Structures are given as C-alpha cells and as structure tokens.
Structure 1
Amino acid sequence: MQSAMPEEGGEPRRPPNPEEIREQLAHIIASSEFPHTGRGALLLAYVTEEALAGRASRLKGYSIAVEIFNRREGFSQDDPVVRIEAGRLRRSLERYYLVAGQLDPIRIDIPKGGYAPSFTWNDAASAVVDENVANGVPVRRVHIDWPKWAALGAIVCVAVLNYFATDRFEARIELASHAEVPHKPTLVIAPFANLGDGPQAALYTVGLTEELLTALPRFKEIKVFGRETSKALQPEVDVSRVRGDIGAHYLLSGGVRVSGSQVRVTARLLDTSDGAILWSQTYDDDLDTRDLFAIQSDVASRVATAVAQPYGIIAQALTARPPPDDLGVYDCTLRFYAYRSELSPTTHLTARDCLETAVARYPAYATAWAMLSIAYLDEDRFRFNPKGGYETPMERALATARRAVDLEPENTRALQALMTALFFNRNLKEALAVGEEALATNPNDTELLGEFGTRVAMSGQWQRGAALLDEALRLNPGGAGFYQGTAALAAHMLGDHEKAVILIRKADLQKFPQFHVVAAAVYADAGMIADARREGEIAMKMRPQYIYDIVEENRKRNIRPEDSARMIASLRKAGLPVPGEAAVAAEIGMEVITYGP
C-alpha cells in the first residue's frame, strides 16, 4: 500500500483512514529516532488502536495503568506512572517529527490534557510536496514495505495483530530484552572437582554445580555465565584461559570429597586478571544427619551469599581495586551500597547523581532504577538533598520502582525498592506482600533481608522483624549499619535492653540523625542516661524538626500508635523535647499511657 496526501481539488480533505494510520504507526516505531526502550512503543500502539476502535473516550489514566503497566485493579490513583510515560511519549513524537518524520504524510500526536491521540495530515510535508511539484522535483512518497516490517514483532506489530485477534490489548512487549544494558562483573563457575570415591561424590559434584548455577544468578548486580559455558570447562581450568577465552572477571571453583558419611566441600573465588584467590572456604557435613540434597542446597546458598551479596566478596574486591577494564555504570551500585553503609547527605548525593546518569545511559538497567528509587525516597524520609519539581520524592520513588519491576519482575533490588516505596506511601498490605515475594525470589540477599526485616518490625511485628534482621547480620556481619540500628530498635521494643545496647554501638552511623534518636531511646531505657542525653543533643543539632514532628514521623513509618507512644516515652527520659503524654494520646487517638517516670 502507498500513502500520500490526498488531492484537495477544492474539496474538503478527508481524514486519514485506519489503514494509513496503522502504516504510519509502524513507520514511527521502526524508526531509529523513536526510543526502543521503556513502554513508549507499547503505549503509542495501545492508544492508537483504542482510538481506531472508537474507544478514545475511555482512554483514562486508570485503564492505561491496568492494561499497559500491569497495575492491579484498585491501585492508588496517586501513582504517576501513566502521566510520566505519556509526557515522555509526547516528547518522543515531537522529536521524531522534527528529525525523521518531517515529510511523513500523517502526524500522530497525543495532545496535552488527555491520552487520546490525534491523526492529521502533515501540513509541513504537504507544503514541501506542493513546492516540489511546482519546481518539477520528484515528489517523495512514503511507502511501507510490510514484509520488511514483519521483523517488528519484537516491538509493536505483533501486539497490534494480537489486539485484533483477541479484541483486547493483552500482548506484552518485552522491550527491555532488546535494549542495551551496562557491563557488570562477570563470574563463571567451573564444575566442582570429584575428590572422593564412589557414586555419591560424583552425584554431589554435579548437583552442587547445578545449585550454584541457580543461586548465583539471583543476585542481579553480577552476571553469571550459563550452564553450557560452565560445562565446557574442566574443574582445574587455567585461570588465564577463563579471562582470555570467556572474558569472565571471576572464577568460582572447588571440590567435593566424600569419605564414608563425611562430606567436605572446598570453594574458592579467583580474580582472573592475576589468578589471586580472593576468598576460600571449607564446609563439612555428615550424611548420617542430613541428606545429600539438603547439604548441597545449603552449601550453594552459603557460597552464593558470601560471594555475590551486595556487601560480599566481589563488591569488596571491586571497591578495594577497581578492575582495569570498564565496567560501565557498575561503579554506581558500589556508590549506592557505600551510601547505605554511611547514610549521609554527601554519599546520598553522589549515589543519586551517578544513578541518574546510569539510567540515562542504560534505560533498561532495572537494578539502577531500583537503587535510584530508594535514593529518591530518602529525599523525603531522611530529608537528604531534596529536589524541587512537579513530582514529590514519594511520587518519583514509586514510579521509578514500578519501572524497575516492569523491566525485570524478578529482580530482588527492584522488588525491594517497590516494597519500600509502597510502605512509605502508606500502602502497608501491598508493601509487605511484595516483600514476601522478594524474599521468596532470593532468601540469601542480605540487603533485602535487612530492609524487609525493618519494614516488618516497624509495622508492629517486632519479633519476626528482629529474626529477619538477625539473619541478615548473621550472613553479613559487616553489613549496613542501618540494619544494626533497626535491630537495636527491635531489641529495645522487645525489652532486651542489653542486646539493644550492643547493637546500637555496632551501628555507628554518626552522620545519620535517626541513628542518634534510636540511640537516645535505647540508652535511656537501659538506664544509661548520660549516654542517652548525649545522643539526644546530637540528634537535636542535626535535625531538630524530626523530634518536634516525632508523632507524624512515626506515622509515616507505619509505626503503631502504642509503639509510637512507647518510643516517645523513652526519648522523654533522654531529655528530648517530645510531646507530652496527653498531646501524644490526642494526636494518635488513644488513652493516655505512661511508660516509666
């Protein structure tokens, strides 16, 4: 089919017909000037087909969020994702018609104030055609060769065809799989060596390697080479070959020895640039007390956690000695974890700026979007480096977390970000449900364990929250001080004041105002009044408004009224100017309860 401007001949110009509009739609989306990341192509195709089907009046933010962005029915109307994506789409179309589409016969636009598209003849192109005809210049005709565009199935044409087949736009276009993603640290697993006798040892070595190939890829900050690559290696593969032939930065290898009922597993991580052993560990177990499959699963989890967790061996190695080859934006993830360990405005600004650059370069990098969501959230909850603009930090945090999950639904960091954003948007039930999903996806991720434990504890489940935080700290004793501080608060709320003091001393987040608030409460209830007053004075110097607004700050964190009252009573012992019992009771709607003197 050929599209061109219809001859006017004094007659009113007819509007473009559906076939011509669909042809123009395919032409836009196929253009290199139209973004092929995010949901722009999907959104453009959806609103176009809805309008052509006579349903333009039904194009509302709610319906688009449910159909295109997979929001559950009943989601909060405060979710800005549709508004944000529609704005991006408008800008993409404007750029397209300024650059590649100047002479296209039809314009497809999304007028501001709604989501229904407009379809008009391109007057600018018509003027060029008229001028060329008058000057005897051959007229450019836009012709779409449909066999050529059949390859667009990965972008939008398949979705359009599915729309007609089902009378509903249910096809999801996985654009992220076609978009560029940054380089990450790469790891290859060599088959574990059989160092024992008999069939059990051979079975164990194969099973352990398979378990590791399942456990390690759950950590999205690294790239793990697949099963076929691992099988092609020998247990004692030359490290230099791994670097030269495969390009892996790290090699995980080891061996299994079975003697009678005793099983010994050795594992080591090597830097392939120089063969240095970065980490090694030995695991012993007994087949008389545990079956083979339970042992290999447990060992694989422990190895994966030690090597690949956010504060694990690979992260430590990269921080101490960045590799000579470019790892793209991976440095931003290290900056993010450095920020999480310190929680200061300076490290927050560094991490946020780096992550914003990262997602601009790599729009399909879900992990960076997730981390950026948490950085945005902290502009509000910690008052770190707040930005101005149309959207609030909470709105940006939720939209960015949604984007991360849309890009990679099983990404642990993306689910963690969504859980946290939902929690601070006061959607407690959904937040904890997302947290449970994330925990099931990767139970060995200590960053997730700590954050989920914090959310569970703050919601009033102090016992379970404390258990999750204890597990995070067991797996990663040197992990984020933020979690040690929350674990101290949990112990405090559970009446274990000795444990609370030990944990708060380990946290040592001197640049974080809330740390000093928690420390003041912990020391006050432990009878260490001088320490409590010292911490309270530091908190007041760093962020006095937090103390004056303590009731609202606790409410924002979904802390139950009775728990809030108890915390405030502890802070009063430390000499902080918190509301009195009657004022607190009036604000949180409960009877006056006095805790101690």
Structure 2
Amino acid sequence: MNYMPDADRPSTEIDSAFPPAEVRAALRKALASPELVASPQLCAFLTYVVEARLAGNEHLLKGQNIGRVVLGRPESFDAQRDPIVRVEANRLRRTLTAYYKGSGADETMHLVVGRGSYVPRFEPAPPPPAVDAPEPPAAAPQDRPAPAKAHPLPVRAGRLALIIGVALASIAVAVYGAITLFAPQPVARTPVVNATHVFGPGVGPGADQPYLPSVEVMAFTTHTAGSAAERARELVATLTVSLARFPELRVLARGSERADFRLDGEVTLGETTNTVAMRLSVAGTAEVIWSASVELKPNELGSDSGIERVVAIATTAIAPQFGAIAQYLAGGKDVGEADEGGIGDYGCMISAQLQHHRLDDGSWQKLDACLRDTIARYPNFATAAASRALLLVEDYRLDPVESSAQVALRDAETEARRALQLEPTNVRALTAAAVVALGKDDLDVARTIGLRAVTANPLDPLSRSQYVLTLIASGYYDQALAQSAIARQIDPAHISFYDSLDYLAHFGKGTEPNPLRSAVVADVPTLPYGAIARVLAYNSGDENEARDQARAVLYEIMPAFADDMPSALHRQFTASPFTERLEAALRQAEVGS
C-alpha cells in the first residue's frame, strides 16, 4: 500500500483549531529545520503521519503500514516482532522536542506524535514559563477592563524554509523518478522474504531465501536502575534495527530460535566516564570473535549521539562484507543448521561484493556459477541478484575484450533491475543499480540511487564508498570529502577505504597537502581505487620502488591497465574531466607503458 495523500486535494475536516494550510506550513518549516533536514527517514515518517491525519485516514497509522510504506519493509513485515517503527517513532519524538526547543522555538503551533499512538496532534505552543512579579492592586469591579482577546501570531513560512521545503520535495521526486526509470514495473510473483526480517517464534528462514547467518542481540547488563537501564534497552533496540539493515544477516528476536552468533554487553557508570563493553560470540561454543569497549562522558550516555556512536562502532565492525561474522565464516568455520545450500550461498554473495577476483584463474567463473545456482533456487531473493550484478560489473571492468565487456555490463543491468524489482529498498540492490549506472556513464542516476543506498543503510561501507567514488567521478570533490568525513565518524572499522578516496578527491581538487599520508597507509590493495591512489601517492613523493610495487599490484587486480590503460580507467571511473587528469597522472607514473 503506497498511500500518500495529494497535498492539493481537499482535506477531511479534522478536530484541530488549525486549518490544514497552516498545518502544512508548519510541516514544511519543520522538514527544513536543522534538526530534521539531515534525516530523510524521519522527514518521510513525519510527512506521512501528518498528511494521513489531514486526509482523515488515521486508520492507516498503524505500525504495519508505516513499516511497509515509510520504512520500506516488505509485505511480510511484522511490527510486533520487528521494533523498527517504534524505534523510529521515538527518534521522531525526540527530534521534534529538540526542534521546538531550538530553531522552532518561536512556532505558535506544534506537531506532536504522542507516545502510544502514531496519530499526530496539532497543538498551540505551550505558554512561556510565568515570571513572578508583584501583583498590581485589584481594580474596582466597575473599573476593571475587559480581558483582551488573544490573537495567535501568524505562522510565517519564511522564504528560506519554503525554498528548502520545495527542494526536499524535488529531491524526493527525483529519487523516486530515477529508481522508477531504472527498475521495471513489478510483475506478479510469490511474496518476497526479506533477509533482514526479524524472525519471531517458530519462524525460520523460509523457502524463498537461502540460509543466512543469524545474530541475536541480548539484553545489556546494567548495575543501576532508572535512566541508565532505559538507555541500555534503547541501545539494544537500536542495535537490532541497525544490524537488520544488512540483507546478508538474519537478526532474531530473543528466544525465537537458536542464533548462530550473540551480541551482548554491559553498561558501567563511573564518576567521570561511562563504559559500554560489547562482545560478539559464537552461540554454540561461546568463542568471542569480536569485542570493544567504548568510553562515554556521563552526558553522552543520555544523548542520541552517544547511542549512535556505540551502534556505529558495533555495526560496522560486525555486519559488513569485511566484518567479524564474514571473516569468521571465511576462515572455514561452520555455524551449523544450514539448509541444503549450506552457508555457501552466503559466502558466494559476500565474495561477489568484495570484487577481488580474476578472469584467468577460474575464480570469477566459479563464483558466478555459485550465484546462478543460488538465484535458481531462490528466485525471489533480491540480494543474490544484486550480488551477481556486482560480480558482472567486475567482469565488465576486467575483460580485455570490449565487446564481451559490454555484454557483461548489460547482464549486470538486467540483474540490478531484477533486484530492485524484487525489493526496491534493499541496500545491496540499490548499490548494484548505482554501480551499473556509473558503468553506463549515467552519473546523475548513479548519484541519485547511490544517495538512496546510503540513506537505506548509512553504516554500510560498500554503498558509502561507492557513493563517494561516484561523487569524485562527477567532479563533486567537496561533497565527496564531506561524505568521507561522515564515514570516518560512523565507520571507523573501514577508515582505510576513505583514506584512498580522500586522496583521489584531493587529487581532483588539485589540493594534495601531504600526498603520502593517506593512500600509502590505506590497507585496501585489492580495491582498484586503492591501488590507483597508492601509485599516484608514491609517484608524487618520488618513492619509485614503492610506486613500481604498487603498479604491479594494480596490474594484478586489473590486468587491462597494463595493456590498455585509458579503456581500463574509463571502466573504473567513467569518462569525465577527472578521468582525463587521472590518465595523465598515471602515464607520468609509467602505468600502461
């Protein structure tokens, strides 16, 4: 159900002292505020509930509908088992409170989403606190003036807020248009089972998806009651939602079934420092495969930023393709309870997303056969199709024969379309579509869908690094550096990725204050952009021996750079002024000569 009322159609009469036009003006101002503008998901949540209330469709404001329509959950979504709607609603309430205490302090009407309901209220702003003053002498009854009639202050939309509000609407239309353009219209199919579903009692992976490793977030131990215990519970809920955004993992509700991995921890309060300790262990053996201890200032534990920092550290270290779970399983460890396909389906998808294969040793072909088999057995599992699209893009970049490389790109587009058709909000499907658009030289679509992927899962390093790469290829160097700076804060586990991307962005800008600092220390030799950055950095620093070694690594990753460097470079970055400058610098570094 994709309900969103038309803002221009007459609204149903609502029980409110404020007319719909005034409510919408207040909504536009809130969406353009510093408190909300940085969170598209909260903006979409607030817009949906306000417009539904104005249209008289309060019956639609249930967790089930909001999860599917606003948060992109599949038809199988169960709001009773997956807490994402409640978590996002609490975030929205806190953000609105901050807005009306901050940039919206002068607003005469407040949008309120009270606890226990998703139906918003439109209320007059509470009066300011009374100031004690001497009481004037009582006037005689006949001299007492009639009370003045109160007139609410007019709501002034503000030109800047209006412009930003229109821009937000335009961006939303553009994102929808780009994805609609890229993806085919849905066709009849069996229901899609989302890999990120939080399974409830008695529910297993099901026939529409392969066996995926599962993780259960346990209650964190606290030694005090009150606010600290409440924040610990919120931390567990937010971690659950954050991990569930990775489509290669299953996040289980406690007690629903036996999980493969468990994440637990404790919150310890100190006089000057609070500590959150976390551990990821194998459920069957209790072997700890990852741990971290995060120190927070006393006021941080009670803030959203403190919770978000802890969640980012845990999620980026555990869930991605380079995370603790993938590395543990890549070491040949078996978590058991796999179906006939075993954990091999998961391994195929993760390996395809890493993109570090060769065409001449059979590794690429073996992986492609594995993914074809997975797709044949689970035709409605979007992540398998998206992973094969990424693998086919790798073929496009590696194949020295132009005609067969173009066939690989067309096949990649077919798989990316299929993945988006199956699950339009799957982060892996969005990333695959963005990578294919970049390969087709469609930078506008690549940026638009790349941004959608980052919004779907801000903690996914694959989508974030791909988006930064697209910004660099587009010549948006300052935006690329800004995105990289954000990534360094929320994804410290993969900071070396962004070191290399930073170097390339500075190269594009012509600002290289310390060319050896970033790319040389970046431990990403298997990624083409990392190898290119190393070659340039060493060459700029006259480190010829190290440059030659880096060049050999680049040839090993992408042999086409040795035989036809301009073509190989175009397949990696697409044609642009940035690529022309990059080609000249690589020639100077004796690449392809």
Structure 1-normalised TM-score? Answer: 0.58
Match of 2:243 in 1: 216
Q: Does 1:268 align with 2:270?
A: no
Distance of aligned partners of 1:335 and 1:470 in 2 relative to their CA distance in 1, 3 Å threshold: farther
Q: Distance in 2 between matches of 1:183 and 1:338?
A: 16
CA gap 1:276/1:182 in 2 versus in 1, 3 angstroms: same
**Aligned twin of 1:188:** 216
Q: Give unpaired runs (5+ residues) of structure 1.
A: 1-69, 83-169, 233-244, 579-597
What secondary structure does 1:288 align onto? helix
Distance 1:471 1:358, change over 3 A: farther
Q: TM-score, normalised by structure 2?
A: 0.58
Pair 1:73–1:559, CA change in 2 (3 A) = closer
Paired AA for residue 350 in structure 1: K
Residue 378 of structure 1: aligned partner: 394
* 1:369-518 equivalences in 2 (<5 Å): 369-383=385-399, 392-469=407-484, 486-494=501-509, 495-496=511-512, 498-500=514-516, 502-504=518-520, 506-507=522-523, 509=525, 518=533
Q: 1:224 to 1:559 in 2, by over 3 A?
A: same
Deviation at residue 548 of structure 1 after TM alignment = 6.9
Equivalent residues of 1:359, 1:369 under 8 A apart: yes
Q: Give CA-to-partner distance per residue, 1:543-563, whole Å, 9 cap, x none.
A: 776467555555555556432
Q: How does 1:164-313 map to 2 (within 5 A)?
A: 175-177=191-193, 180-196=208-224, 198-226=225-253, 230=254, 246-259=257-270, 262-288=273-299, 291-313=302-324
Question: Alignment partner for residue 322 of structure 1, among 326, 334, 340?
Answer: 334
- Cα 1:316–1:513 shift into 2, 3 Å: closer
Given residue 180 of structure 1, which amino acid in structure 2 is its aligned partner?
D
CA–CA distance in 1 between the matches of 2:281 and 2:553? 45
Q: Shift in Å at residue 292 of structure 1?
A: 3.1
1:571, CA displacement in angstroms? 2.5
Q: Distance in 2 between matches of 1:387 and 1:352?
A: 19
Shift of 1:369: 1.0
Q: Deviations over 1:544-589 (max 9, x none)?
A: 76467555555555556432332233223234567xxxxxxxxxxx
Decide whether the 8 Å contact of 1:449 with 1:471 is kept in 2. Answer: no
Alignment-mate amino acid for residue 349 of structure 1: Q
Residues 344, 547 of structure 1: alpha-carbon distance in 2 compared, 3 angstrom cutoff:
closer
- Root-mean-square deviation (Å): 3.9
Deviations 1:363-398 (A, max 9, x none): 122111111001111211222899969x82111111
Per-residue CA deviations over 1:205-240 (Å, capped at 9, x if unaligned) read 2211221221111011110113xxx3x6xxxxxxxx
Give the AA of the match of 1:255: E
Structure with greater Cα Rg: 1
Of the three residues 336, 348, 357, the one matched with 2:373 is 357
State the match for 2:102 in structure 1: none
Quote the sequence identity (%): 20
Distance 1:296 1:506, change over 3 A: closer
Letter of the 1:438 counterpart: A
| Residue 334 (structure 1) aligned with residue 347 (structure 2) | yes
For residues 76-130 of structure 1, the C-alpha deviation after alignment (integer angstroms, 9 at most, x for no partner) is: 7xx8x69xxxxxxxxxxxxxxxxxxxxxxxxxxxxxxxxxxxxxxxxxxxxxxxx
Query: Secondary structure in 1 aligned to 2:425?
Result: coil
Distance 1:175 1:274 in 2: 36
1:344 paired to 2:353: no
**Residue-by-residue CA offset, 1:325-375 (whole Å, 9 max, x unaligned):** 426354344345446264433443332222111111111221111110011
* Contact 2:265 2:276 (8 Å CA) reproduced: yes
- Are 1:567 and 2:582 matched, yes or no? yes
The more displaced of 377-386 and 217-226 is: 377-386
Structure 2 Cα separation of the partners of residues 293 and 204 of structure 1? 10
Moved more, 283-292 or 202-211: 283-292
Cα distance in 2 between the residues matched to 1:558 and 1:513: 10
Q: CA deviation at 1:301?
A: 2.8
Tell me by how many angstroms 1:275 deviates: 1.7
SS at match of 1:568: helix
Residue identity in the other structure for 2:278: A
CA apart distance, 1:441 = 1.2
Deviation at 1:539, TM superposition (A): 6.2
Shift of 1:191: 1.9
User: Letter of the aligned partner of 1:302 in structure 2?
Assistant: I
- Shift of residue 282, structure 1, vs aligned partner: 1.9
User: How does 1:585-596 map onto structure 2 within 5 Å?
Assistant: none
Correspondence for 2:153: none
SS in 2 for 1:421: helix
Distance 1:415 1:268 in 2: 31
1:7-22 matches, within 5 Å, as: none
- Which stretch shifts more, 408-417 or 178-187? 178-187
| Contact 2:382–2:426 under 8 Å retained in 1 | yes
* Counterpart residue type for residue 236 of structure 2: T
Letter in 2 for 1:344: R
> What is the letter of the counterpart of residue 326 of structure 1?
A
Residue correspondences, number: 400
Equivalent-residue separation in structure 2 for 1:547 and 1:481 (angstroms) = 25
Name the counterpart of 1:166.
none
Cα shift readout 1:499-540 (whole Å, capped 9, x = no counterpart): 456524644637x88766554433333333455466557867
Residues 123-160 of structure 1: per-residue CA shift (max 9 Å, x gap): xxxxxxxxxxxxxxxxxxxxxxxxxxxxxxxxxxxxxx
The separation in 1 between residues aligned to 2:421 and 2:574, in whole angstroms, is: 30
Tell me, yes or no, if the aligned pair for 1:501 and 1:526 is still in contact at 8 Å.
no
Partner Cα separation in structure 2 for residue 374 and residue 529 of structure 1: 34
Give, as a single letter, the amino acid of the residue that structure 2 aligns with 1:192: F
- Deviation sequence 1:269-324 (CA, Å, 0-9, x none): 22111122222222221233674333223322322222222211111221222224
The answer on whether the counterparts of 1:497 and 1:522 sit within 8 Å (CA) in structure 2 is no
Relative distance call for 1:428 and 1:542 in structure 2 (3 A) is closer
Contact 2:358 2:557 in 1 (8 A): no
Hey, what does 1:14 align to over in structure 2?
none
Q: Are 1:524 and 1:570, in contact at CA under 8 Å, matched by a contact in 2?
A: no
Distance (Å, rounded) in 1 between the aligned partners of 2:402 and 2:366: 13
Residues in 2 aligned to 1:410 and 1:276: alpha-carbon distance in whole angstroms? 34
Q: Aligned ranges for residues 90-105 of structure 1 at < 5 Å?
A: none
DSSP 3-state at the match of 2:453: helix
In the alignment, the residues of structure 2 paired with residue 472 and residue 448 of structure 1 have an alpha-carbon distance, to the nearest angstrom, of 11
For residues 556 and 347 of structure 2, the distance between their equivalents in structure 1, rounded to whole angstroms, comes to 30
Cα distance 1:298–1:362, how it changes in 2: closer, same or farther (>3 A)?
Answer: same
Q: Partners of 2:251 and 2:400 in 1: how far apart? A: 35
Q: Which residue of 1 is the match for residue 159 of structure 2?
A: none
Greater helix percent: which structure? 1
8 Å CA contact 1:270–1:279 kept in 2: the answer is yes
